[in-house]
Amino acid sequence: MSDNTKNKRLFTIWQTAAAVIAGAQVEKTDETDEPVLDVLHLTKSFGTKTILDDLSFHIESGEIFGLLGPNGAGKTTMIRIILDIIKSDHGSVKMFGKAFDEAFKERIGYLPEERGLYQKITVFECLKYFANLKNVKKPDDRIDFWLEKVDLIDHKKRRVSDLSKGMQQKIQLASAFIHDPDILILDEPFSGLDPVNTKIVKDIMLDLKRDGKTIILSTHQMDQAERMCDRILMINHGKKVLYGTLDQIKADYRESPVMVVEYEGDLKPIDGVTGMEDYGRYAELDIGVGTDPQDVLKNLMESVKLRRFEMKSPSLNEIFIEVVSVA
Amino acid sequence: MRKTLVVAKHEFLATVKTKGFILTLILPLVILLPVMFTSGYVMQIATDSPRNIGFVDETGIMQPDGIFTRFEDIGDAEHALLNDEINSFITIPPDYLETGRVVLYSTGGFFSSAPTGLIEAFIIDNLLRDLDVDEPLGDRIRRPADMERITLNEEGEVEEKQEVRFLIPYAVAILMMLSIMTTSGYLMQGIVAEKENKTVEILLSSLSPEELLTGKLIGFGSAGLLQICVWICSGTLMISLTSLAAVFQEIQISQIMILAIPYFILGYLLFAGSMACVAAPASTMKDAQQGAMVFTMMGILPIMLLGVIIAAPDSTVARVLTYIPYTAPATTLMRITLTGISVYEIAASLLILTISVLVVIKLSARIFRNAILMSGKKIRIRDIPGYLKG
C-alpha cells in the first residue's frame, strides 16, 4: 500500500470518527479507490432465453459510461439488476466496493426508458413524493432548484397531465436528479426532446460530471455517446462485444486506417493502398497493414493536387452497425 | 419502514381525496338522514296519536283509565287486537308483584314497542294507589316491567321476527364486504395504473417491491378502515338519535363491532393480497378485473346464500363458510346474532383466516416482485409458478 493510499485511509477513518463523536450521521463511507460499480459474471435467463450471459465490467467514479446495444440486447435487464429491481441468476453487483444494499438506492438517480409520471396530481406533488421516497431533507428547496434548472418553475402548480410530452420528460429528469445522487442511470435521456431541450439536458449532465457524479448513459444516439462518454460497454444478445475507452475501441476495431482525401486531378492506384472508394473529387483510401500513411501521402502528392486530407477513424455508429450486423 | 410509510401516506391521501371515496362516505349519510328524520317524524306521530291499550289483569290491582281498557281473558283481548279495536294489550299475571313479568301483545307493526312508557306509567300509577309501599313493591316501582315481546301475525300466531335481529349484523357484514371490496379494488387499480403510466419502475428504483406493496396495503387499508369507521359511527349516531334505538337495543352491537374490526383487517389483507397477485402481472385494468372476479365472487357468496344462513345458521353450509377464509368475515358476522356461535368456532375461523393472510401476503409479495414489470401478457394460471419462482 502506498503512503498516499495509507494517508487517504487514515484521513477517512479520522473523518468518520470525528463525525461519530459529533453525533453526525455517517452516510458515505466509500472514499476508497474501489470502482463505483463492479459487475461480475452477471447472468440472467427468462425461461429458456438467456438475457445476460456472464457479463463483467466496472465503472469508475466521475465518468460518463455509455451502455450501448441494439433493442433486446439486455441493457434494461442489466440496469434493473443493478438497481436490485430484479435478481440475477448468477454473478454479483458491488456498489461503492460493497454488496448491494437497499440504502444505496438513495444514492442512485434513475430515468427509465419508459417514461411515466402521475398524471392527476401537480408537478410539485409528484416531485415531492419522489423526493420523500429518496429521503430528501428539504424537498421544497430541491424541487424549486431543479424546476429552475429545467426551466419549468412556472409550471410547478400545474397538473402533470396539462404539460407537453417534452415538459413531462424534463420533470422526470428532475425527479432523477432531485436527491443529489452519486450515480445517475439515464436510459435514453434525449429521446423526445427538441434541440433546445437536448442542449439543456446535455449541459446538466456535463455539470453533474464536473461535480464528480457518475453517469451511466444508455442510448441509441451514437453521436451523443461518442461525444460524451469516457468509456463504453456495448452488449449484444446479452454478451459483451465492446468495452473500453473510445480510442481503445476504435484502435482495436479497425487494424487498417482509412485516409480521406479531397483532390484535383486523376487519382490512380497507389502502392500500399488496399482499397479505394473514389468519388472524383473525394476518396476514402484503405491503408494496408504495415504501410506508413506518410508514404501514401507522398505518392498521392505526386499524382494529384491535394486540397484536404485526414486520417479517419470509424465512428461509433459504424462500429455499432457492423458489430450488430455481424452478430 | 420509512419508505413504506411514505407510500402508505401517499396512497391514503390520494384515495381519500378521490370523488368516489368521498361519495362512499357521504352516500350512507345521504340515504340514512331522510330515514332518520322520517322515522322520527313517524314515531312522533305514532307516539302522539290517541292510543287504546288493553290489559288482562290477574292481580286485581289495575284499574282501567282513558287509555287502558280491561279484558277478562287473553282470548277477548286477542280478538280486540286483531279487529283493530285496540293497538296492543298487556297481560299482568297473578304473580306480577313477585316477578314483574308483563307480556305485551301487538300486531308486529314497526313502532309497536312505542307504548312501553305508557304501560310503565300505567302500572306505577296503579301500584302507588296504596301508599303503604313495601320493599317488593318499591322494587317494582323502580323496575316495573321485565317485558317479553311476542308478535302475532295476521292469523294470530306467534311470529319470530329474526329479520330485525339480523338487520345490524347483516348491514355490518354488507358494509364491511363493500368496504373490503372497494378498498381492495382501489389497491388493484393503483397497481395497474402505476404499471400503465410507467411510474412503477421509478418507484422500484427507490424502494423494494415488498416495501412498495406493504405501503400500498397499509395506505389503502387505512382508507378502508376510515370508511368503515365513519359508517359505523354515523350509523350508531343516527340510531341513537332516533327511536330506532329501541328496535336494536336487544342486539349485542358491541360484540359485533369488536369482531368486525379484526375481520375487516384480516379480510382486507386477504382480498387485497389476492388482488395484488392478479394486478401485478396484468397489463390492463380489464385483465386484472377478470382475474379478480373469482375472489369477488367468493367474497359475496355468503350474501348470496343469505337465505340459507338465516334459515339454518348452524347448518353445515353456514359452518363451512365460517371456516373458508374468503367467506369467513361476512358469514361469521351474520351468524353471530342468529345462533349461539361458540367462541371456539370464532377462534378457529380467525386462526384459519390469519394463516391464510400470512400465506397470501407472502405469495403476493413474491408475485409482485417478479411480475410487476411484465407487460403485454395476459394473465395465465400456468405462468403463476414462474412468477413464484422468479
The arithmetic mean of pLDDT across residues A303-324, rounded, is: 82
Range of the domain at B127: 50-159
- Specify the DSSP class assigned to residue B383: G
CA distance B388 to chain A (A): 13
Residue B265 and residue B367 in one domain = yes
- How confident is the model at residue B151, as a pLDDT? 60
Final residue of a domain: which of B143, B159, B175? B159
Residue B20 and residue B96 in one domain = no
In a domain, residue B90? The reply is yes
Q: Which residue out of A77, A126, A129, A169 would a mutagenesis test of the B interface target, given it has the greatest number of B Cβ atoms within 10 Å?
A: A129
A6 against B146, higher pLDDT: B146
Residue B237 and residue B199 in one domain = yes
pLDDT band at B25 (very low <50, low <70, confident <90, very high): confident
Its ipTM equals 0.74
In a domain, residue B102? The reply is yes
pLDDT band at A28 (very low <50, low <70, confident <90, very high): very low
- How confident is the model at residue A23, as a pLDDT? 39
Q: Is A244 exposed, middle or buried (0-12, 13-18, 19+ CB in 10 A)?
A: middle
Q: Which three cell numbers stand for residue A278?
A: 473514389
The chain A residue lying nearest B206, using CA atoms, is A105
CA distance A129 to chain B (A): 7
In a domain, residue B10? The reply is yes
With an 8 Å Cβ cutoff, are A121 and B14 in contact?
Answer: yes
With an 8 Å Cβ cutoff, are A85 and B204 in contact?
Answer: yes
- How confident is the model at residue A24, as a pLDDT? 40
Q: Say how far apart CA B27 and CA B24 lie, in whole Å.
A: 5
Give residue-wise pLDDT tens across range B228-274: 788 777 777 776 666 555 555 555 556 677 778 888 889 989 998 88
Q: Which three cell numbers stand for residue B118?
A: 305508557
Q: Please, what is the Cα angle at B337 between B334 and B338, to 5 degrees?
A: 80
In a domain, residue B42? The reply is no
- Which residues of B fall within a CB distance of 8 Å from A218? none
Q: Say how far apart CA B363 and CA B195 lie, in whole Å.
A: 19
- How confident is the model at residue B152, as a pLDDT? 64
Contact pairs from chain A to chain B, CB under 8 Å: 63
Give residue-wise pLDDT tens across range B288-341: 888 888 888 888 888 888 778 777 778 888 889 899 999 998 888 888 766 667
- Which residues of B fall within a CB distance of 8 Å from A130? 202, 206
With an 8 Å Cβ cutoff, are B202 and A116 in contact?
Answer: yes
Residue B251 and residue B179 in one domain = yes
H-state helical runs in B242-327: 244-248, 253-279, 285-304, 306-311, 316-323
- Specify the DSSP class assigned to residue A94: E
CA distance B7 to chain A (A): 8
**Sole residue written with cell 279487529:** B83
- How confident is the model at residue B353, as a pLDDT? 92
CA B166 → CA A240, B244, B313, distances in Å? Answer: 70, 14, 11
Q: Which three cell numbers stand for residue B381?
A: 394460471
Q: Say how far apart CA A307 and CA B236 lie, in whole Å.
A: 96
CA distance B159 to chain A (A): 56
pLDDT higher than 90, residue A124: yes
CA distance B328 to chain A (A): 36
With an 8 Å Cβ cutoff, are B205 and A83 in contact?
Answer: yes
- Which residues of B fall within a CB distance of 8 Å from A135? 2-3
- How confident is the model at residue A198, as a pLDDT? 87
- The DSSP-derived string for A51-64 is EEEEEEEEE-TT-E
- How confident is the model at residue B339, as a pLDDT? 65
- Specify the DSSP class assigned to residue B198: T
- Which residues of B fall within a CB distance of 8 Å from A107? none
Identify the CATH number of the domain in which residue B147 sits.
Answer: 3.40.1710.10
Final residue of a domain: which of B104, B132, B159? B159
- How confident is the model at residue A29, as a pLDDT? 43
Q: List the A108-111 sheet strands across, edge first.
A: A108-111, A183-187, A214-218, A64-68, A231-236, A239-245
Q: Say how far apart CA B145 and CA A70 lie, in whole Å.
A: 89
Give residue-wise pLDDT tens across range A237-272: 888 888 888 888 877 776 667 889 999 988 888 888
The chain B residue lying nearest A126, using CA atoms, is B10
CA distance B8 to chain A (A): 11
pLDDT band at A26 (very low <50, low <70, confident <90, very high): very low
Q: Say how far apart CA A78 and CA A88 lie, in whole Å.
A: 9
pLDDT higher than 80, residue A66: yes
**Sole residue written with cell 413524493:** A129
- Which residues of B fall within a CB distance of 8 Å from A133? 3, 6-7, 203, 206-207
Question: Which residues have C-beta within 8 Å of that of residue B83, sequence separation ≥ 6?
Answer: none
pLDDT higher than 50, residue A19: no
- Tally of residues, chain A: 327
- Which residues of B fall within a CB distance of 8 Å from A102? 207-208
Residue B328 and residue B226 in one domain = yes
Q: Say how far apart CA B192 and CA B194 lie, in whole Å.
A: 5
Would you give the distance in Å from CA B389 to the centre of its chain?
41
Q: Which residue out of A46, A104, A108, A114 would a mutagenesis test of the B interface target, given it has the greatest number of B Cβ atoms within 10 Å?
A: A114
Residue B200 and residue B344 in one domain = yes
- How confident is the model at residue A185, as a pLDDT? 93
The arithmetic mean of pLDDT across residues B346-352, rounded, is: 92
- Specify the DSSP class assigned to residue A236: E
CA distance A160 to chain B (A): 12
B109 against B175, higher pLDDT: B175
pLDDT band at B134 (very low <50, low <70, confident <90, very high): low
pLDDT higher than 80, residue B47: no
pLDDT higher than 70, residue B150: no
The arithmetic mean of pLDDT across residues B368-383, rounded, is: 70
Give residue-wise pLDDT tens across range A192-202: 788 888 888 88
Residue B219 and residue B146 in one domain = no
The chain A residue lying nearest B1, using CA atoms, is A133
pLDDT band at A12 (very low <50, low <70, confident <90, very high): very low
pLDDT higher than 80, residue A183: yes
pLDDT higher than 80, residue B105: yes
With an 8 Å Cβ cutoff, are B198 and A112 in contact?
Answer: yes
CB A99 within 8 A of CB A92: yes
Note the maximum CA span of chain A. Answer: 81
Q: Say how far apart CA B205 and CA B331 lie, in whole Å.
A: 42
The chain A residue lying nearest B5, using CA atoms, is A133
CA distance B26 to chain A (A): 23
Q: Which residue out of B194, B205, B383 would a mutagenesis test of the A interface target, given it has the greatest number of A Cβ atoms within 10 Å?
A: B205
B234 against B153, higher pLDDT: B234
The arithmetic mean of pLDDT across residues A166-172, rounded, is: 87
Give residue-wise pLDDT tens across range A146-155: 999 888 899 9
Kindly provide the b/e burial profile for residues A41-65, where b requires at least 16 CB atoms within 10 angstroms of the residue's own CB.
Answer: ebbbeeeeebbbbebebbbebbbbb
With an 8 Å Cβ cutoff, are B208 and A135 in contact?
Answer: no
Which among A85, A110, A133 has CB closest to B6?
A: A133
Residue B130 and residue B260 in one domain = no
- How confident is the model at residue B246, as a pLDDT? 55
pLDDT band at B170 (very low <50, low <70, confident <90, very high): confident
- Specify the DSSP class assigned to residue A159: B
- How confident is the model at residue A217, as a pLDDT? 92
Residue B148 and residue B290 in one domain = no
- How confident is the model at residue B141, as a pLDDT? 65
Q: List the A304-312 sheet strands across, edge first.
A: A273-278, A282-287, A258-265, A304-312
In a domain, residue B148? The reply is yes
Q: Is B169 on the interface with A (CB under 8 A)?
A: no
β-pair type (B88-92, A304-312): unpaired
Final residue of a domain: which of B137, B159, B181? B159
B227 against B347, higher pLDDT: B347
Q: How does the average pLDDT of chain A come out, rounded? A: 82
In a domain, residue B45? The reply is no
CA distance B217 to chain A (A): 17
Share of residues in chain A with pLDDT > 70 (%): 88
Q: Say how far apart CA B139 and CA B145 lie, in whole Å.
A: 11
Among A76, A77, A74, CA closest to A238: A74
Position A7: which residue type? N
Residues of A with a Cβ under 8 Å from any B Cβ are 47, 80, 83-87, 102, 105-106, 108, 110, 112, 114-119, 121, 129-130, 132-135, 172, 175, 185
Residue B155 and residue B221 in one domain = no
- Which residues of A fall within a CB distance of 8 Å from B10? 129, 132
Structural domains counted in chain B:
2
Residue B323 and residue B179 in one domain = yes
Q: Say how far apart CA B16 and CA B226 lie, in whole Å.
A: 9
Which among B198, B205, B386 has CB closest to A85?
A: B205
Residue B197 and residue B271 in one domain = yes
Q: Is B12 exposed, middle or buried (0-12, 13-18, 19+ CB in 10 A)?
A: buried
Q: Is B5 on the interface with A (CB under 8 A)?
A: no
Q: Is B208 on the interface with A (CB under 8 A)?
A: yes
With an 8 Å Cβ cutoff, are B205 and A105 in contact?
Answer: yes
Q: Which residue out of B191, B201, B213, B374 would a mutagenesis test of the A interface target, given it has the greatest number of A Cβ atoms within 10 Å?
A: B201
Helix (H) or strand (E) holding B100: none
pLDDT higher than 90, residue B355: yes
The arithmetic mean of pLDDT across residues A69-88, rounded, is: 87
Q: Which three cell numbers stand for residue B82?
A: 286483531
- Which residues of B fall within a CB distance of 8 Å from A132? 6, 10
CA distance B272 to chain A (A): 22
With an 8 Å Cβ cutoff, are A86 and B370 in contact?
Answer: yes
Question: Which residues have C-beta within 8 Å of that of residue A40, sequence separation ≥ 6?
Answer: A56, A91, A92, A93, A94
Among B49, B29, B40, CA closest to B243: B40
> Which range is least confidently modeled, A4-13, A98-107, B144-153, B211-220?
A4-13
Q: How does the average pLDDT of chain B come out, rounded? A: 78
List own/partner pairs for A4-9 with CB under 8 A and 24 or more apart: A5/A33
Give residue-wise pLDDT tens across range A290-302: 888 888 888 888 8
